[in-house]
Amino acid sequence: MQQFLERHKKHIIRAVTLVLVIVAVAASWKNINATLLESAIGVVVTPFQDLTTGISSWVNTSITSAREKRDLKTENEELKTQIADLLAENKRLSLYDEENKRLSALLDIAQRYPELESTGTSVIAKDPGVWYDVFTIDKGTNDQMTANMVLIAPEGLVGKVLESGLTYSSAQSILDSRSSVPAMSLRTGDLGVVKGSYTLLNEGLCTMEYIDAEAEIMVGDEIVTSHLSDIYPAGIPIGKVAELETDPNGLTKYAIIEPFVDLKHLTTILAVSKGGSGETTQLENQTEDTP
C-alpha cells in the first residue's frame, strides 16, 4: 500500500485537488442560485411578504393619521374656547368703554350747568312697552333725590323725577302723556309746550303745542327748553321738528317732535336740580328698593 501511494502520489494529489475545486465551485453555485424548491417557495412567499409589509405600513400610517386628526380636533376645540373667551372679554371691554364714554358725556353736561346740583343715576326698571315713558332709577331720598329733578342724557332732555323713595325714584320721560315742558325753537325763539301723546308714543314722538300761527318755526328746527319754567333749566336740547301743522282754529300751530335722546335704550342719566324749586313729593315711608 505504501508503495502504491508513493508510486501514485502525484496522481492522488491531483485528484484530491480536483475534488476540492469541484466542491468549492458547487458550494459557490449553491449560494448564487437557489434550488428549484427554494425558488418555488420564494415565488409563493414573496407576495405575502409584500402584502404584509404594505398592511403594516398602512396600519402605521392610519394610526399616525388618526392621532394627528385627534390632536388637531383637540387643538381646534381649544382654539374655539380661546376665541369665545376673547370675544366675551372684548364685548365686556366694549361695554365698559361705552359706559365710560357715557359717564364722560354726563360729566360734560354737569360742567355745562355748574349752577345746578347734579347726580348720576341708572335706570333699573320700566313700564311695559318698547319706549321709556315711565321708568325707575336707582337713586332716592338717601341720595338727595327729589321730585321734579330734571333728567338729562348726553343727547338732551329725558324727562323728570315724579316721586322719590329712600333708594329709588319713579320718573317720566317727555313721551309720557302727563309730561309738559315749556319749549322754544332755537333758531327763531318761537315758544310752545312739548307734550307727550298717547297716539304718538308707539312711534317715539311727542308734540309741541300752542305755537303762534304767525311763528316762523320750520321742519328741521331744533327745539330746546325755554326760560318759562321753574323746573327745567333753559336751553336743554329736546328734539327737532319732524312735521308742522296748523290747528283747525287757525290761531295756533302744532309740531311733531322727534326727540334727540334714544328713549328705547336708556341706561345712565344725569339728574339736575335748580336747588329746591318746584313741587317735592316724597315716598319717605317706602323702604323697598323698587316700586
What's residue 77's pLDDT? 81
Domain that holds residue 141: 117-273
Are 22 and 161 in a shared domain? no
* 154 shares a domain with 258: yes
pLDDT of residue 163: 95
Q: How many residues does the chain have?
A: 291
Question: Do 136 and 27 lie in a common domain?
Answer: no
The number of folded domains in the chain is 2
For residues 135 and 236, membership in a common domain is answered with yes
- Same domain for 260 and 124, yes or no, is yes
Per the listing, cell 313741587 goes with: 279
Q: Which parts of the chain register pLDDT below 70?
A: 1-56, 58-60, 62, 93-99, 102-103, 275-291
144: nearest Cα among 266, 234, 276: 276
Report the greatest alpha carbon distance in the chain.
Answer: 170
Contacts of residue 127, Cβ cutoff 8 Å, sequence gap at least 6? 133, 134, 135
pLDDT in tens, 128-180: 989 999 999 999 999 999 999 999 998 999 999 999 999 999 999 999 999 99
256: domain CATH number is: 2.40.10.340
Residues 135 and 265 reside in one and the same domain: yes
The reply to whether 105 falls in a domain is no
Same domain, 137 and 254: yes
